[in-house]
Amino acid sequence: MDGKARISFDDIRERAYELWERHHRPEGFEIEFWLLAERELRNERARRSRADERVALGADQD
């Protein structure tokens, strides 16, 4: 997966909904949950990308 690939609207929507439910469905926080979902997904993607790079570097050293 390309680390710069866009995160899909549906992925963000699903994560934002999960976060909203986990926080007992408060009203008026749509934007906050959307932004938090985007941030979480970006961070997860960055961690996976770094892990993939470490694996690739380790494989090159064999």
Over residues 28-61, the pLDDT tens digits come to: 999 999 999 999 999 999 999 888 888 888 876 6
Side chain identity at 41, as an amino acid letter?
L
* Domain-located, residue 51: yes
Q: What is the pLDDT of residue 1?
A: 45
- Distance CA(28)–CA(38), nearest Å, equals 18
- Please check whether residue 39 lies inside any domain of the structure: yes
Residue reference for tokens 């993939």 = 52
Which domain does 26 fall in, by range? 9-60
Give the three-class secondary structure for 15: helix
Position 2 in a domain? no
CA distance 36 to 23: 12
Return d(Cα 24, Cα 20) in angstroms, integer: 7
